[in-house]
Amino acid sequence: MTFLLSLSRTDNHARTGIVSTAHGDIRTPAFMPVGTAGTVKGMLPESVRATGADILLGNTYHLMLRPGAEVVAKLGGLHGFMHWDRPILTDSGGFQVMSLSKLRKITEEGVTFQSHIDGSTHMLTPERAMEIQHMLGSDITMALDECTPFPATQEQTRDSMRLSMRWAARCRDAFVPRAGHALFGIVQGGVFPELRAESVAALTSIGFDGYAVGGLAVGEGQEAMFAVLDVTMPLMPQDKPRYLMGVGKPSDIVGAVLRGVDMFDCVIPTRSARFGRAYTSQGEVNIKNARHTQDAAPLDAACTCPCCAHYSRAYLHHLFKADEMLGPILMTWHNLHYYQTLMQSIRDAIEEGRYGAFARAFVEPQEAE
């Protein structure tokens, strides 16, 4: 099995097709539910698949700390360990080192940090990131990068990006090629167009199986994010998958597809669900609100997920008020189903040559009931 992107249709910059991997095909544009520590919180793997997901995301930082990559490797790799036989992408851990770890120190060699779990000290280098992801058995491995904080000066962003590009070359050298497996480079450069262009040129010179855009959705806002994509995406190779990391809200996804992005991941649908917030065709719902106490209606009458097919808003409200774990489980199932239904609608619109109209007509649910 060769790792390959096969585009079936383009509609202006929007693209739809199939990414072939060692563990099956990924329909694009694709949304990857986040299974950071080897699980999508509250969901069986079979349930995640039933929502329409083709691929999950795991994370190097979390899995190297607990239970350890060596343990996962001995137990069948991440696919066997978590009972998911479809593709898996693993983030290299650079973002988590920035956002979670204590007393981190970045050098040319790599990053030394203290675990947020127990304070133990660890070293993550480009070579070690490749080794860990190889042990996990990732279908798509991500290069180690420094996620530049926002805001940052142009000089700080330039130095950070160039360090990430040097690390990317070391990741390419350390990656072990296998049939159906891939290594993605990560474009950095903050909100500075010339730095984004320099980063794309550096990565394409090294040569990767796919290209991600990192360092966005870190506080710059949607308008600035789209401006970065407007200048970055036309520079990206046309025949390789393009992945926008950590994005995002439904309107972020719709707008990014319009600019040529193929793959997404974000914790928003699962994290929001755990706090009682759902995306529906009629608007965003806060199921904890008192108005739902005796509401016999489903969460979303237009939805076919098990949550909406079998349970009322009143029951969901009760579960959250009683702090029952079934509440977040059902809401997570619904939100993931909403996201995967959105992705199918996006793919259909591109195939039918009407994505521009679809994007213009799309209005993200805003009002929390």
Tokens of 175: 């990656």
3-state secondary structure of 162: helix
Listed residue (163, 62, 167, 174) closest to 122, CA to CA: 62
Cα–Cα distance, 51 to 117 (Å, whole number): 32
Tell me whether residue 343 is exposed, middle or buried, using C-beta atoms within 10 angstroms of its C-beta: 0 to 12, 13 to 18, 19 or more.
Answer: buried
Say if residues 47 and 334 touch (Cβ distance below 8 Å): no
Return the C-alpha torsion angle 154, 156, 158, 164, nearest 10: -150
Helices (H), the chain: 45-50, 60-65, 69-74, 77-82, 94-99, 126-136, 154-174, 193-206, 222-232, 250-258, 268-274, 306-310, 313-321, 326-351, 355-361
Task: Give the Cβ contact number of residue 40 at 10 Å.
Answer: 27
Catalytic status, residue 265? yes
* Distance (Å, whole) CA 144 – CA 166: 10
Distance CA 66, CA 84 (A): 19
Q: Are 58 and 72 spatial neighbours (Cβ–Cβ below 8 Å)?
A: no
Q: Which amino acid is at 16?
A: T
What's the Cα-to-Cα distance from 135 to each of 32, 130, 141, 323, rounded to whole Å? 21, 9, 11, 38
Catalytic residue, chosen from 11, 91, 139, 262, is 91
DSSP string, 2-19: --EEEEEEEETTEEEEEE
Taking CA 217 as the corner, what is the angle to CA 272 and CA 33, rounded to the nearest 5 degrees? Answer: 45
Task: Identify whether 252 is a catalytic site residue.
Answer: no
Q: Say which of 11, 139, 145, 265 is annotated catalytic.
A: 265
Structure tokens at 70: 């060596």
Task: Tell me the sheet residues that pair with 26.
Answer: 19
Q: Write out the catalytic residue numbers.
A: 91, 265
